[in-house]
Amino acid sequence: MRVDQLSGRGAVVTGGGGGIGRSIALALADQGMDVVLADVELESAERVRDEIRGLGRHAIAVRTDVSDLADVSALADVSFKAFGDIAVLVNNAGVTWRPYRASWDASIEDFAWIMSVNFWGVLHGHRAFAPHMGRSGSPAHIVNTASRAVLQPIPGHAAYTASKAAVEGFSMAVRAEYAAAGLEIGVTVLFPGPVRTDFASSERLRSAADRAEAREVVPWTSYTRGGTVPTGADSAQAIDPETVGPMVVDAIVQDRPYVLTHPLPEHVTERARLLGAAASGR
């Protein structure tokens, strides 16, 4: 569902306090939208709020832990009360782990933490916002941030890849549901490749009791010759986050199902070949 009119309407961006989230929030504000910045680090969200106000748009900052449905529901209440009409929801908040670690060395708590933010955060956003957006009478759009890791597997990053693959699968099913139900809500999946942000340090956001640094972690590099970083991770192809926001805005306006910040990995072509061979029994 194309959203032809963004100006004067409201948007919510989780993980909006920096990096990709900040870029998307500023790009939406540049289109004349009023923006709610949701972030577990309130001071970061407040800095972006002030930037958007400097552009002449309304903006508020709300501390939000997207892994907590009550927090996201409260965010929805605040957002609709502040701006009435929320036309765009960007479920962007996400976390990763460092050092990279084998799936057999990662703890269940590692997996649970990453899934609680990366996947459950997206689900919470849909549950809290979509019912209201669908009743607004005007086209709306949801953007969910996945990762290029879904398209190009990264050894030592199994939980992150699994969480982002779940985001893609959920998003495309929901996009089909909205269309079949006649709801004027589009859905786009963002696949960021390497982007210059502080995302790699996101384990700082874990509780002291749950933080991976509090226990010994076997790094993935212990299994690789020369201790090399996994292919596709922390690449020299990293781009500045400011370039991502305009890509996302264009996808919203055009109702595109996917946004890729980098060229399609060769692995995708190879996967299609292997699936074709399996389907034909070769």
pLDDT tens, 77-127? 999 999 999 999 999 999 999 999 999 999 999 999 999 999 999 999 999
pLDDT: which is higher, 206 or 227: 206
The answer to whether residue 17 is domain-embedded is yes
Helix (H, G, I), strand (E, B) or coil at 86: strand
**What is the DSSP secondary structure assignment for residue 265, as one 8-state letter?**
P
Structure confidence at residue 214 (pLDDT): 53
Q: Report the relative pairing of strands 140-145 and 34-39 from DSSP bridges.
A: unpaired
> Which of 163-177, 189-203, 227-241 has the lowest average pLDDT?
227-241
Helix (H, G, I), strand (E, B) or coil at 193: coil
Pair of tokens at residue 194: 């390497």
The answer to whether residue 248 is domain-embedded is yes
The answer for residues whose C-beta is within 8 angstroms of residue 16's C-beta and 6 or more apart is: 22, 24, 25, 35, 36, 37, 38, 39, 45, 48, 90, 92
Structure confidence at residue 258 (pLDDT): 97
Residue type for 257, please?
P
In angstroms, the first-to-last Cα distance of the chain is 39
Report d(CA 57, CA 96) in Å as an integer: 32
Structure confidence at residue 136 (pLDDT): 81
The answer to whether residue 3 is domain-embedded is no
Structure confidence at residue 103 (pLDDT): 95
- Listed in order, strand segments (DSSP E) in 115-176 are 140-145
Structure confidence at residue 213 (pLDDT): 53
- The pLDDT tens digits of the residues spanning 1-59 come to 578 789 999 999 999 999 999 999 999 999 999 999 999 999 999 999 999 999 999 99
**Smallest Cα–Cα separation from 160: which of 200, 126, 209, 187?**
200
What's the number of domains the chain is made of? 1
* Mean pLDDT in residue range 212-222: 76
The answer for residues whose C-beta is within 8 angstroms of residue 216's C-beta and 6 or more apart is: none
Beta carbons of 23 and 48 less than 8 angstroms apart: no
pLDDT: which is higher, 115 or 229: 115
For residue 226, pLDDT over 90 is answered with no
Beta carbons of 186 and 89 less than 8 angstroms apart: no
Pair of tokens at residue 206: 């874990």
The answer to whether residue 1 is domain-embedded is no
pLDDT band, very low/low/confident/very high, at 235 (cuts 50, 70, 90): low
pLDDT band, very low/low/confident/very high, at 229 (cuts 50, 70, 90): low
**Smallest Cα–Cα separation from 113: which of 13, 16, 20, 205?**
205
Structure confidence at residue 282 (pLDDT): 63
Q: Which residue has the tokens 């680090």?
A: 41
Q: Would residue 178 show up in a list of annotated catalytic residues for this protein?
A: no
**220 CB neighbour count, 10 Å cutoff:** 23
Domain that holds residue 182: 10-279
* Mean pLDDT in residue range 222-251: 81
User: Strands of 258-260's sheet, edge to edge?
Assistant: 59-63, 34-39, 10-14, 86-91, 140-145, 185-191, 258-260
Beta carbons of 160 and 205 less than 8 angstroms apart: no
The answer to whether residue 26 is domain-embedded is yes
99: cis peptide before it, omega within 30°? yes
Pair of tokens at residue 274: 């292997």
Report d(CA 160, CA 165) in Å as an integer: 9
Structure confidence at residue 26 (pLDDT): 98
The answer to whether residue 5 is domain-embedded is no
Q: Which of 160, 178, 223, 258 is flagged as catalytic?
A: 160
For residue 264, pLDDT over 80 is answered with yes
* Mean pLDDT in residue range 228-235: 58
Structure confidence at residue 236 (pLDDT): 67
For residue 231, pLDDT over 80 is answered with no
- The pLDDT tens digits of the residues spanning 143-190 come to 999 999 999 988 999 999 999 999 999 999 999 999 999 999 999 999
Structure confidence at residue 230 (pLDDT): 61
The enclosing domain of 191 has a CATH number of: 3.40.50.720
- The pLDDT tens digits of the residues spanning 122-142 come to 999 999 999 999 888 889 999
**What is the DSSP secondary structure assignment for residue 201, as one 8-state letter?**
G
**What is the DSSP secondary structure assignment for residue 255, as one 8-state letter?**
T
The dihedral region occupied by 174, where left means phi > 0, alpha psi between -120 and 50, and beta the remainder, is: alpha
pLDDT band, very low/low/confident/very high, at 208 (cuts 50, 70, 90): confident
